[in-house]
Chains A and B, each alone.
Chain A
Amino acid sequence: MYAFNYHKPKSLADAQALVAKFPDGKILAGGHTLIPTLKQRLAQPTDLIDIGGLAELKGITVSGSTVSIGAGTKHGEVADSADVKKAIPALAALAALIGDRQVRNKGTMGGSLANNDPAADYPGAILGLGATVHTTKRAIKADDFLKGMFETALDEGEIITKVEFPVPKRAAYEKFRNPASRYVMVGAFVAETASGIRVAITGAGPTAYRWADAEKALGAKFAVASVEKLVHTSNGLNADIHASAEYRAHLITVMTKRAVAGAGG
């Protein structure tokens, strides 16, 4: 790692002041992407602003038809939360599939979303559920939040504070994991929400996106048979040593079918 200065603000306001003061600094949440990046000298921030301990960013609350999760909430806390399991079991199940137990004990929802790794799980969840990402500046709909590979709508210095998930009628997430890294090769998040069917695909393209053909087919009839004949194009999909674009395209239909079955379709 290159050298940096470390700051541990005591409040979100202090954190914002530090972020403004150090334009070449970086925000540290759980650090489970940032620290490996620093260790490989792929980034050289002058300052790290550690928001991992801020109580303002923690906590899970359920009110009516909304589950609100603080950005600093760890994956393990989401996975184990009785409230999340009851309101949106698919979300708790998704969190339980991130990394391993030790990673889940440090990595945070806000950190994952701000990083928007194409092989991350949470981008699929916010898109599949039609969540709203709240920041120190504004509220951003999931459909407007994910902009591209490692790219979001966040401005410089803008910090995610919480994510609000509308409770769906039913939902399920199916993930084909890279067996070594446990990152997503293809994940499908299928939900029947108050505003219709949402199908989010993560891991397959540069960023998570909605699969319109599957949404339309499931809107007509929410059943495995509606999607099993769908063929997803391989154009624009990720290709790497783990899987070709064609293989990922094939997996998209398979994972979507399993998610529909998982949601009782």
Chain B
Amino acid sequence: MSDKPFFIGYMPAPEGLRAFLVIVAAAVIGGMAGASWVLGVGQDDPGPGAVRGDYGRQNLMGIVELVPYPLLHVVEGSDTIPEGTTLMMSAGNKAGVDARALPLDGQLAAVSGVVMERGDLQMLQLRGGRRGLGPGGGPMDIPEPVDMGRWRLAGEICDGKCLAGAMRPGRGLAHRACAAMCLLGDVPPVFVSSQPVDGEEFMLITGPDETPLPKEAYDFLSQYVSVEGTIKRHGDLLVFSIDAATLKLTN
């Protein structure tokens, strides 16, 4: 008769099996620790984007321009946001400020909020209601946009808020659904170009003739794509008006 140990769950483990089970238990714990180490320290850098609470609340005056996402051409800046800066704006959470900005298109406005920043990309998250965005003194001339011609660019379409630092990481396929929800909430979309255009890596991306980003483009969110369109400089911000039919996945 075989003398191999026979384990019965509700009986003490056979003598001949105990050492083996101790080794297996150690291997399970050690293996899980090792796997955790590999997966934990192998996480990619989420990038430099951040909510800059350390800058303090920004109280600015500027001219609102809808392209169709609301921009602010700063005319009275702060230590952090100098005059002449052009900012994208969003509300708290996954929401834009289109409805609040619409009556102020082409007008001076007083804005208040916190800056999110990733390199040259800046997004101002406004406070709620009129404390965040309110009239500041009537109509003013919007800086004349500069047409920079037609371009074919490669890069990634993201939501401007998460990319700027609301989330780390705030781009990539794992973030795709979140980006879609942000855009559905009217957060301004941003194109991250693989090659700088006129020194800019980030630009606001819109549909043709500065209309809202078409829904077809949502299928290409967070992926490396190539796309054609025209670029205009609005203040110090580039606006890339794409022809969605030219969107292609690329390597």
Whether A and B are associated in the same complex: the answer reads no
| B contact set with A: CB distance below 8 Å | none
